[in-house]
Amino acid sequence: MSALERTEHTYEILVTPGKKPERLDAYITRSIAMATRTRVQKAIDAGAVHVNGLLQRANYKVKPNDVITVTVMRPPPLQLIPQEIPLEILYEDDHLLVINKAPGILVHPGLGNRDGTLVNAVLWHLGQRDPINVLKAREDWGDDAELPDEGAGDAESEIWEIGQGLEQENAAVRPGIVHRLDRDTSGVMVIGKTYQTTMQLATQFADRTVSRQYVALCWGVLGDDTQLIEGDIGRSPRDRTLRAIVRTGGKYAATEVTVHERFLFATLITCKLRTGRTHQIRVHLSSRKHPLVGDPDYSGREAAIQSLHHGYRLKGQELLKHIHRQALHARSLEFTHPITRERLKFESPLPADMQQCLDLLRG
């Protein structure tokens, strides 16, 4: 990302009189919305934090009337245009929206995809017609800054605020994206329609009180009926747009896998996420030599065909004619309504391409 695309922004925090001593990193984390302890510590290590004009360590104890400055690189605002894009709505009230996301649509804009996303469609659905500015909450705090994910999925608490910190703020329109699905993953998603609802949904995802179940079709025959796949996930050293199981620098990830139906050279499974990492299911299954059928990024197409017994390769090629994406569908989503406190569960049937694959395998 070039220097023209990000601008320097400085937070200035005045420690209130009478404040009891507190670690610098903890105080900043509580004082700046969307900041995390890890990113604050990295910003301090990178020399982006000053107290009364001087660099300080993370364990510095703040005192009354200290002036703290935090300098970050802020991504530029995007102009977001509401677009009339069809939505399959499973449930809607004044507070939230539950949809069945079709494959092939991005959840939110990125540097190379500024329209045609789910957010564009939701804005139109909520009655917005004029273009508005959108700012992604994540800023570069001096660590290894990532480009906005394009087609990334399952990472939690990535919340988009419409008009955040911008003059063109419109508090009435805030489609809260609290979880994501990959561009080519279909299935159930919940979206907050108000700031309060969005924040409370985000808390549920962070606290792991949301239950999500995915249906997938993977190559090969899984032996165990149930298994837990664990492995830290981070950026792939070979391609930074992808993820991989890594020894250092990754985040712990765990996926519960249950076999539902075995075929000659493929297996129908359900997956339950214990964590929510980008591309988690795809990476975990690929790491076990059972990539998802059709997955172009994680060895689920031509490479998978070559690994099949030669007697199944023609059938495998025929299978790929029916699906041009990873065979992954978010079948169910269960959460507590932030306002009514009712426990809600929504389910979505298999999309046509995955059903065609199953029909072929069963036939």
Q: Convert the chain into a string of H (helix), E (strand) and C (coil).
A: CCHHHCEEEEEEEECCCCCCCEEHHHHHHHHCCCCCHHHHHHHHHCCCEEECCEECCCCCEECCCCEEEEEEEECCCEEECCCCCCCCEEEECCCEEEEEECCCCCCCCECCECCCCHHHHHHHHCCCCCCEEEEECCCECCCCCCCCCCCCCCCCCCCEEECCCCCCCCCCCCCEECCCCCCCCEEEEEEECCHHHHHHHHHHHHCCCCEEEEEEEEECCCCCCEEEEECCEEECCCCCCCEEECCCCCECCEEEEEEEEECCCEEEEEEEECCCCCCHHHHHHHHCCCCECCCCCCCCCHHHHHHCCHHHHHHHHHHHCCCCCCCEEEEEEEEECCCCCCEEEEECCCCHHHHHHHHHHHC
Q: Can you give the pLDDT at residue 233? A: 96
Taking 90 as the threshold, does the pLDDT of residue 292 lie above it? yes
pLDDT score of 1: 37
pTM confidence score:
0.73
| pLDDT-wise least confident of 94-103, 193-202, 218-227, 346-355 | 193-202
Q: Which two tokens stand for residue 123?
A: 């804005």
Give pLDDT, residue 340.
Answer: 96
Mean pLDDT (the chain) is 86
CA triplet 172, 178, 182: central angle to 5 degrees? 125
Domains of the chain: 3-74 (3.10.290.10), 78-207 (no CATH), 214-330 (3.30.2350.10)
* Under 8 Å between Cβ of 328 and 361: no
* pLDDT (tens digit per residue) in 213-258: 999 999 999 999 999 999 999 999 888 889 999 999 899 999 999 9
The pLDDT tens digits for 185-223 are 999 999 999 888 998 998 999 898 999 999 999 999 999
Q: Which residues contact 319 (CB under 8 A, 6 or more apart)?
A: 266, 293, 357, 360, 361
**With 70 as the cut, is the pLDDT of residue 156 above it?**
no
Mean pLDDT of 152-168: 35
Q: Are 284 and 272 in contact (CB under 8 A)?
A: no
Residues serving a catalytic function are: 182
Asked if residues 159 and 137 have their Cβ atoms less than 8 Å apart, the reply is yes
